Amino acid sequence: MIRKKQVTLNDIAARSGVAAMTVSRVVNGNGYVSEETREKVLAAVTEMNYRRNGLARSLKRQKTETVGLVLGDLSNPYSTELANAVRESLSAQGFNLFICISEHSGKEDIAAFEALVDHNVDGIIVATRSNRDGNERLDRIADSDLPIVVVGRDFPHKGVDYVSADNFTGGFEATQHLIDLGHRRIGFIGAAFEDRHSLKRLQGYLKALEKHDIAVDERLITGRSESAADVPGYSTEKIGYEGMKRLLSLPNRPTAAFARNDLTAFGAIAAIKEAGLSIPNDIAIVGFDDTPLASHTTPALTTVRQPMRLQGQIAAEMLLRRIRAVEDVRREDRILDCELIVRGSTVAAKL
Amino acid sequence: MIRKKQVTLNDIAARSGVAAMTVSRVVNGNGYVSEETREKVLAAVTEMNYRRNGLARSLKRQKTETVGLVLGDLSNPYSTELANAVRESLSAQGFNLFICISEHSGKEDIAAFEALVDHNVDGIIVATRSNRDGNERLDRIADSDLPIVVVGRDFPHKGVDYVSADNFTGGFEATQHLIDLGHRRIGFIGAAFEDRHSLKRLQGYLKALEKHDIAVDERLITGRSESAADVPGYSTEKIGYEGMKRLLSLPNRPTAAFARNDLTAFGAIAAIKEAGLSIPNDIAIVGFDDTPLASHTTPALTTVRQPMRLQGQIAAEMLLRRIRAVEDVRREDRILDCELIVRGSTVAAKL
DNA sequence: CTGTTAGCGCTTTCAA
DNA sequence: TTGAAAGCGCTAACAG
């Protein structure tokens, strides 16, 4: 259809018999305008249903007061809380937030970055998992001095801040907790082989085993299959379910397992119940995140709580600091403490 | 800090000794450019790390190839699946998706609309709950012919399409199912008083009772407290928990309950278990949505499945149709069937 | 195949 | 208190 032609400043100016500049002043509420003129203009604005063109405005002003947030997926409560916290912090400062989803694909990460840069956002918060293509592009964008903050992992670029939970220590403490309870055969659910060096929670797990001289049994570490392609949104739970099934089929099955996150733990719990086994007596389970549902499963889930909202707030602050900076900003990073929440899903190992 | 001055078409043109227009052609890959010139330009582009300015481009072209999606919250798996489906459909057509969250606040709805309109998105998909302020603003935006599609409810404007699940029939069938099982005292969880006329699922519930001559007991209908202000993201589960507690404290407690959605049902289940009662024998529960977790609770949740992805796809198609239309578009609406999924949380009433 | 011109809608700057 | 001019960076339309 023939879209109604956009009403412009000039239209309003013509209609109310003043200059475009005067209309601009009225619309933006700055500069001096006589009450009389103001009213005349405002009348025309209402009458013609005028909306200023943000594109033109931003083009001229060289800023958009908009920030982008790139998320790997939406299915994890982690993303949700983070996004809310970021949004709240930013909107309190008059910034808009546009969220992009990349579905954990490097290609889509790039598409999201492009889209945001194309729209000249004032800064980007990145909370996707690290991947080569995405990192490379992000690096280039950071080179152009666009403010960037990364959440949940680090990013080695002098112009990029990052904030993350202490996943390593969290993983360590979760595992340590199980060891303290007397468990020796402890599974890890949710790690693909290629995560070995990037997944801090897995590293914490390995470290705890090492500290107690428990040999690592590769078969106890299970994760998504090779074909990561078939792993869409909600798969984390599916991974937990399948991972636990694999652990249960082992000749010498573990007496406890640490799941990469709560969703994975929920899947694992389902598999255990389905096998007619009991939690925590046959198998103890620890999750990670302390999602809202964690306290409501039966039994309630022992898990590691990470400060999701705080990460979002800090990320927003870091970004605003960069956006507003008038001189060079020194890189900043924050690693936040996690907290082990012991509930019913863990208990001392049977002897 | 002094942000690096943006590299422009003219800079590249100057550097490579051609006109800006030629650079534009190379960058956008349209029009004829000799191989030789192309290479020269491309070299300069790489060398100077040029990125075209999307604002200027969109201002000139009068389109952004970007669509906005406004969501009430992110905590409901419904939003998640919808967003993913929308994103997939749009990105397949070369459109970007920017998601805005309104936290179920009319004020934030408006802020999201403004932000999107300000960025001259080509269209908006709205999936927030209906509210007066938001509707009013949306109406004005629709008046200006910006393509708009509403999801999950209707919206009475000749220029706005909508797609929704058949919540009324879904609610009816869920309740009917419980009645068929012999239940007569059936609670409804998750309806505030003011939802009475807007919540189709509640209307379906009431209709089913009416059909079977079961008198409505107001005390069996429970929802969020008056102060909706204290109800942030994840509260739906909390509402279910509290709602069920209230039902359990009734002198003559119900033998079954229909929860407004799965999250609410999960909360209700937690309350029942906490009271030492059994599901489904003491109280049967039906949810709505068939979220991924529904099949993994103990017992698994009987629920009404609504086609979330399909709604997203259709919404995207409807919007693209409007965006691409060259002449007036007739209003379209689609109501999609739901499906009752019977699992372990419902069983015949004890006599 | 390449260049010129004009202008998208706004705001900055300077002048009145 | 108001206005005129210039230009943000890009591309459509036309000319060469």
Strand C proximal to B345 Cβ, under 7 A: no
Find the closest chain A residue to B87 by CA distance.
Answer: A101
- The C-alpha atoms of residue A124 and residue A319 are separated, in whole angstroms, by 8
Residue A144 pLDDT > 90: no
Sheet strand arrangement including B339-341: B221-222, B186-189, B256-259, B284-289, B302-305, B339-341
- The C-alpha atoms of residue B247 and residue B188 are separated, in whole angstroms, by 9
- The C-alpha atoms of residue B285 and residue A244 are separated, in whole angstroms, by 28
- List, for residues A261-299, the tens digit of each pLDDT value: 998 999 899 899 989 999 999 999 999 999 877 887 888
- Entry field: residues in chain B: 351
- List, for residues A184-200, the tens digit of each pLDDT value: 999 999 887 667 777 89
Radius of gyration of chain A measured on its C-alpha atoms: 26
Strand D proximal to A34 Cβ, under 7 A: yes
Mean pLDDT for chain A?
89
Strand C proximal to B62 Cβ, under 7 A: yes
Which stretches of A2-91 are assigned E, i.e. beta strand? 66-71
Q: Give whole-number Cα distances, B60 to A5, A55, A98, B56, B120, in Å.
A: 14, 10, 23, 6, 12
- List, for residues A86-141, the tens digit of each pLDDT value: 999 999 998 999 999 988 888 999 999 998 998 899 999 999 988 899 999 999 99
| B144, two tokens | 């200006």
B59 → closest Cβ in A2, A59, A296: A59
pLDDT at residue A130, rounded to an integer: 87
Cβ-Cβ contacts under 8 Å between A and B: the total is 162
The DSSP code sequence of A159-216 is: TEEEEEE-HHHHHHHHHHHHHHTT--SEEEES--GGGTTT-HHHHHHHHHHHHTTPPP
Of residues B296 and A329, more confidently modeled: A329
Percent of chain A whose predicted confidence (pLDDT) is above 70: 95
pLDDT at residue A233, rounded to an integer: 38
Q: Which of A2, A3, A104, A264 to mutate to test the interface with B (most CBs of B within 10 A)?
A: A3
Domains and CATH numbers, chain B: 9-59 (1.10.260.40), 64-165+308-336 (3.40.50.2300), 167-306 (3.40.50.2300)
Q: Please name which of B227, B210, B219 lies closest in space to residue B243, comparing C-alpha atoms.
A: B219
pLDDT at residue A326, rounded to an integer: 78
Per-residue pLDDT of chain B (351 residues; tens, 9 = 90+): 556 678 899 899 888 889 889 999 998 888 788 888 899 889 999 989 898 899 999 999 989 999 999 998 887 778 888 999 999 999 999 999 999 998 888 899 999 999 999 889 999 999 998 889 999 999 999 988 899 999 998 899 999 999 999 999 999 999 999 999 999 999 999 887 667 777 899 999 999 999 999 999 999 998 766 444 444 434 578 889 999 999 999 999 999 999 999 989 999 998 999 899 999 999 999 999 998 778 878 889 999 999 999 999 999 999 999 999 877 889 999 999 999 999 999 999 887
Percent of chain A whose predicted confidence (pLDDT) is above 90: 61
- The C-alpha atoms of residue A279 and residue A289 are separated, in whole angstroms, by 19
**Chain D bases near protein Cβ (<7 Å):** 1-5, 7-13
Averaged over A309-334, what is the pLDDT? 93
Task: Estimate in Å the CA A29 to C1' D2 gap, whole number.
Answer: 15
Helices B308-324 and B77-92: angle between axes, nearest 10 degrees: 40
A80 → closest Cβ in B55, B74, B144: B74
Task: Estimate in Å the CA B144 to C1' D10 gap, whole number.
Answer: 25
Non-local CB neighbours of A158 within 8 Å, separated by 6+ positions: A331
- Rounded to 5 degrees, φ, ψ at B45 are -60, -50
Non-local CB neighbours of A230 within 8 Å, separated by 6+ positions: none
Contact A254, A243 (CB under 8 A): no
Strand D interface, A 51-90, C-beta < 7 A: 56, 59-60, 62
- The C-alpha atoms of residue A170 and residue A191 are separated, in whole angstroms, by 15
| A45, two tokens | 């604005």
Q: Please name which of B246, B274, B306 lies closest in space to residue B79, comparing C-alpha atoms.
A: B306
Place of tokens 């239309």: B325
Strand C proximal to B32 Cβ, under 7 A: yes
Residues of A with Cβ-Cβ distance to B235 under 8 angstroms: none
Find the closest chain A residue to B267 by CA distance.
Answer: A296
Contact A128, A72 (CB under 8 A): yes
Number of helices (H) and strands (E) in chain B: give both, helices first. 12, 12
DSSP 3-state assignment of A11? Answer: helix
**Chain C bases near protein Cβ (<7 Å):** 1-5, 7-13
Helices B20-28 and B9-16: angle between axes, nearest 10 degrees: 110
pLDDT at residue A238, rounded to an integer: 83
Q: Do B111 and A91 touch (CB under 8 A)?
A: yes
- List, for residues A148-172, the tens digit of each pLDDT value: 999 998 899 999 999 999 999 999 9
Radius of gyration of chain B measured on its C-alpha atoms: 26
pTM of the entire predicted model: 0.89
Strand D proximal to B296 Cβ, under 7 A: no
- For chain A, the maximum distance between any two Cα atoms, rounded to a whole number of angstroms, is 91
Q: Which of A293, A309, A322, A324 to mutate to test the interface with B (most CBs of B within 10 A)?
A: A293
